[in-house]
């Protein structure tokens, strides 16, 4: 390849963008044990994650994905597939957007929001697997409600952000990136923010 | 294949253009002239001569007189200058005391460049009434809405001549007739129009008109503002007598020479280039139509800038397409949020009423004087491959049709 001037992204991002790993080619032929979809193309990002699980060991044996989104969204899902395969369901459930960004040697500041979708799509797929297996006690996300449709941020995440110190909408956005895409969830999230503040910190 | 990869095809002329070789020559020659045009000695006079020669060329190109042209730092500065005429509260001894106090209403459109929109938004915070007129699906301003928005309180109406993203050209003469009938002043941001389509300030009946050099093969950092003789004006940059007291700061002689030369070359080349780029656009459009399904062209089908083609490709995100095309040596731009640094897709595309996902999946190709016919076929070929590739990765299932 030509020697090109500096790319916006790291070499890792570029590599995963040019050579996406574990891409889902034909979903109709893929027998998934769990499937998760997160995001919304209206907001510019949408991801589909399907997994196969070794039911004895509780290990993810395969993960395939598809992403509508920019280079960092594509690379994020691609690297996520490498991170998740071989992990136990519990381990995989704990993968965070931070882990994804680290595995890509970092993402530009304004692109972090693109990486917060992959791990959510994976958790949605794992929850779907639990649901299909009748292990509904294991499903965590179902108890939560998605508030920010664009980034799939739930009320539980707003709650923990408040517990971690977010006191206003700006701080909440800093922690969760909520409402940084279409912004339509602002009223609802401010309402929840105030409610959680009241619940935990009566004085504030 | 390897040789093909080394091709570089620049299709982002609406962002900026390479220097015209003649402009480059003129700049190199002018570098020797260092005098301050305001100085009375021979060094100053030499620089003054260059500045005034350029002013003459620029003025005659748009059918203005030289004293109606001031040089500014950019198209953005020109636009800010005009909008800010209405920011002063008439407190001090300006040339047009009270203009903004009597006429507090400003009308613009939803598809203007951010330098107009944000200047207007700033005035709004200072207490002015600002109204944003909408456009139709092709990006043409809604004249009925404009007419009903006009009143005796309307001070200024700012409507761009041609849009940078979708290329749609407005009927500025119709706009100015409406505005003048209501007693307002008309400004047009003609940054994308001057040097690409014929512009005559007299026939447009514009009161103010902005443009810049780097969109027409001139250097960056230099623009011009036409101020109709007799139109109210007040300095934006203060503290100097330059430009007849209308814009402080030592003249950018080099930039001015570059703008003058760029305009001179436009005069020679514009008409032929117009025809050539119209042909290329047609070829590109037809090629895309033939090879790629689920697409939609944005902008006006006939009243658009030559060489500007904006297309939305369903199921394919803009930044991903841009970066894959970049690897093939093709430079385009996108209306996708992801590429802009902001998180919203193009306000221009959204104003035309297209769905958000189509705005995220848009790319703009803007051709110019260095674009070759064989480039077009290469671009069609590579774009087809890139769209296939992006759609294959995409979770939005249009790719089935493209196998």
Output the domain CATH number for residue A202: 1.10.10.1100
Nearest to A181 among B317, B329, B343 (CB): B343
Please state the domain count of chain A. Answer: 2
Cross-chain residue pair B395–A110, CB shorter than 8 Å: no
Check which CATH number belongs to the domain holding B35 and give it: 3.40.640.10
Q: Give the confidence band of A39 by pLDDT, cuts at 50, 70, 90.
A: confident
Distance CA A7, CA B39 (A): 46
State the greatest distance between any 2 C-alpha atoms of chain A, in Å, as a whole number: 61
Which residues have CB under 8 Å from B328's CB, separation 6+?
B5, B7, B382, B386
Residue A3 pLDDT class (50, 70, 90 cuts): very low
Strand boundaries in B256-303, DSSP class E: 295-298
Chains A and B form CB pairs within 8 A to the count of 78
Q: Are B207 and B188 in contact, with CB atoms under 8 Å apart?
A: no
Question: Which residues are within 8 A (CB) of B104 and not within 5 positions of it... i.e. 6 or more apart?
Answer: B86, B127, B128, B129, B153, B155
- A156: three-class secondary structure by DSSP: helix
Specify whether A160 is located in the same domain as A136.
Answer: no
Nearest to B195 by CA among B284, B300, B307, B31: B307
Quick one: what percent of chain A has pLDDT higher than 90? 46
- Do B135 and B229 share a domain, yes or no? yes
> How many CB atoms within 10 Å of residue A176?
23
Query: A138 and A150: one domain?
Result: no
Q: Which residues constitute the domain of residue B343?
A: 2-18+270-402
Of A119, A143, A167, the residue that ends a domain is A143
Of the three residues B243, B265, B287, the one that is the final residue of a domain is B265
Average pLDDT for chain A: 86
B99 vs A172 pLDDT, higher one = A172
Q: Which domain holds residue A113?
A: 1-143
Please check whether residues B124 and B205 belong to one and the same domain: yes
Give the CATH number for residue B311: 3.90.1150.10
- The pLDDT confidence band at residue A60, using thresholds 50, 70 and 90, is very high
State residue A154's pLDDT score: 86
Identity of the residue in B323, B357, B393 whose CB atom sits nearest the CB atom of A67: B393
- Whether residue A41 and residue B357 make contact (CB cut-off 8 A), yes or no, is yes
Q: Are residues A42 and A126 in the same domain?
A: yes
Mean pLDDT of residues grouped by 10 in chain B (403 residues)?
70 97 98 97 98 98 98 97 82 58 86 95 89 98 97 94 98 98 96 98 98 98 97 88 93 98 98 97 98 97 97 94 95 81 81 92 96 96 97 76 37
Residues A33 and A101 in one domain: yes
How much of chain A is in helix, strand and coil states, percent to nearest 5? 50, 15, 35
| B395's tokens | 């979770």
Q: State yes or no: is A43 an active-site residue.
A: yes
Same domain? For B93 and B197 the reply is yes
Please tell me whether residues B247 and B309 are part of one structural domain: no
Q: Across the interface, do B394 and A23 touch by the CB < 8 Å criterion?
A: no
Here the CATH number for the domain that contains residue A108 is 3.90.1010.10
Q: Indicate if A58 and A112 belong to the same structural domain.
A: yes
Same domain, B300 and B257: no
Same domain as A55, residue A94: yes
CB B143 within 8 A of CB B178: yes
Residues A129 and A154 in one domain: no
Same domain? A35 vs A116: yes
* B280 in the same domain as B195: no
Q: Same structural domain for residues B209 and B123? A: yes
Domain boundary residue among A96, A120, A143?
A: A143
**Where does residue B245 fall: left (phi above 0), alpha (psi -120 to 50 degrees), or beta otherwise?**
left
Q: With an 8 Å Cβ cutoff, are B345 and A44 in contact?
A: yes
d(CA B128, CA B105): 6
* A141 vs A21: which has the higher pLDDT: A21
Question: Same domain for A129 and A55?
Answer: yes
Return the ∠ at Cα A119 (arms to A65 and A91), rounded to 5°. 105
Give whichever of A5-14, A36-45, A91-100, A143-152 has the largest mean pLDDT: A91-100
* Residues comprising chain B, all counted: 403
- Based on the fold, state whether residues B78 and B207 are members of the same structural domain: yes
- Predicted confidence band at A183 (pLDDT cuts at 50, 70, 90)? confident
Q: Determine which of B344, B395, B403 to mutate to test the interface with A (most A C-beta atoms within 10 Å).
A: B395
Q: What is residue A176's predicted lDDT score, i.e. its pLDDT? A: 84
Claim to verify: residue A105 and residue A184 sit in the same structural domain: no
Contact between B155 and B86 (Cβ < 8 Å): yes
pLDDT of A42 > 90? The answer is no
CB-based contact, A124 to chain B, within 8 Å: no
pLDDT score, position B5: 53
List CB contacts (< 8 A) between A13 and chain B: none
Q: Which chain A residue is nearest to residue B319, measuring alpha carbons?
A: A70
Please tell me the predicted confidence (pLDDT) of residue A114: 67
Distance CA A108, CA A103 (A): 14
Q: What was the pLDDT predicted at B1?
A: 47
pLDDT confidence of residue B399: 42
Gap from A24 CA to chain B (nearest CA, Å)? 8
Instruction: Look at residues A143, A165, A183 and tell me which one is the last residue of a structural domain.
Output: A143
pLDDT level of residue A166 (50, 70, 90 thresholds): confident
Closest C-alpha to B133, from B122, B125, B123, B116? B116
Pair B203, B284 in one domain:
no
How many structural domains does chain B have?
2
B196, B231, B265 - which closes a domain: B265
pLDDT higher than threshold 80 for residue A40: no
Mean pLDDT of A169-174: 88
What confidence score (pLDDT) does residue B78 get?
97
Q: What share of chain B is helix, strand, coil (3-state, %, to 5)?
A: 45, 15, 40
Backbone angles phi, psi at B53, to 5 degrees: -60, -45
Tokens of B66: 């030289």
């Amino acid at each position: 390849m030509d020697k090109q001037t500096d790319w916006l992204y790291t070499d890792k991002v570029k590599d995963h963008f040019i050579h996406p790993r574990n891409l889902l080619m034909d979903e109709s032929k893929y027998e998934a044990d769990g499937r998760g979809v997160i995001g919304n193309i209206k907001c510019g990002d949408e991801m589909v994650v399907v997994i196969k699980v070794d039911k004895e060991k509780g290990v993810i044996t395969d993960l395939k994905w598809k992403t509508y989104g920019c280079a960092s969204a594509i690379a994020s899902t691609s690297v996520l597939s490498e991170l998740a395969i071989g992990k136990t369901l519990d381990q995989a459930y704990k993968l965070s957007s931070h882990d994804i960004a680290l595995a890509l040697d970092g993402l530009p500041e304004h692109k972090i929001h693109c990486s917060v979708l992959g791990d959510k799509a994976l958790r949605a797929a794992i929850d779907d697997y639990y649901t299909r297996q009748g292990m509904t006690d294991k499903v965590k996300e179902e108890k939560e409600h998605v508030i920010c449709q664009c980034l799939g941020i739930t009320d539980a995440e707003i709650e923990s952000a408040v517990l971690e110190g977010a006191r206003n909408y700006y701080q909440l956005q800093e922690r969760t990136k909520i409402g940084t895409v279409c912004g339509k969830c602002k009223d609802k999230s401010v309402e929840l923010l105030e409610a959680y503040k009241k619940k935990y910190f009566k004085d504030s | 294949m390897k040789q093909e990869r080394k091709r570089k095809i620049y299709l982002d002329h609406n962002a900026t253009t390479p220097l015209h070789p003649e402009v480059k020559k003129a700049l190199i020659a002018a570098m020797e002239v260092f005098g301050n045009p305001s100085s009375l000695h021979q060094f100053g006079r030499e620089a003054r001569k260059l500045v005034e020669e350029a002013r003459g060329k620029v003025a005659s190109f748009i059918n203005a007189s030289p004293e109606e042209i001031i040089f500014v730092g950019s198209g953005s500065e020109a636009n800010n200058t005009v909008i800010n005429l209405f920011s002063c509260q008439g407190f001090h001894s300006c040339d047009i005391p009270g203009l903004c106090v009597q006429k507090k209403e400003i009308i613009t459109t939803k598809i203007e460049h951010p330098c107009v929109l944000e200047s207007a938004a700033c005035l709004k915070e200072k207490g002015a009434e600002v109204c944003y007129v909408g456009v139709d699906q092709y990006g043409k301003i809604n004249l009925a809405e404009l007419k009903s928005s006009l009143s005796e309180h309307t001070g200024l109406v700012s409507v761009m001549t041609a849009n940078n993203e979708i290329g749609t050209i407005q009927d500025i003469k119709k706009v100015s007739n409406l505005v003048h009938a209501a007693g307002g002043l008309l400004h047009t941001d003609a940054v994308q129009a001057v040097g690409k389509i014929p512009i005559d300030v007299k026939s447009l009946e514009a009161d103010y008109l902005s443009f810049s050099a780097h969109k027409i093969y001139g250097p960056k950092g230099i623009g011009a503002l036409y101020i109709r003789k007799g139109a109210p004006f007040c300095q934006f940059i203060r503290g100097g007598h330059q430009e007849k007291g209308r814009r402080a700061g030592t003249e950018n002689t080099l930039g001015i020479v570059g703008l003058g030369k760029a305009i001179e070359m436009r005069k020679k080349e514009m008409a032929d280039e117009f025809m050539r780029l119209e042909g290329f656009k047609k070829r590109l459009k037809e090629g895309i139509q033939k090879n790629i399904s689920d697409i939609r062209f944005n902008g006006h089908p006939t009243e658009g800038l030559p060489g500007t083609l904006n297309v939305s490709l369903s199921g394919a995100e803009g930044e991903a397409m841009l970066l894959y095309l970049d690897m093939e040596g093709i430079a385009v731009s996108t209306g996708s949020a992801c590429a802009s640094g902001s998180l919203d897709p193009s306000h221009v595309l959204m104003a035309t009423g297209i769905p958000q996902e189509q705005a995220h999946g848009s790319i703009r190709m803007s051709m110019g004087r260095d674009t070759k016919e064989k480039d077009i076929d290469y671009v069609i070929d590579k774009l087809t491959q890139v769209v296939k590739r992006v759609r294959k990765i995409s979770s939005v299932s249009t790719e089935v049709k493209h196998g």
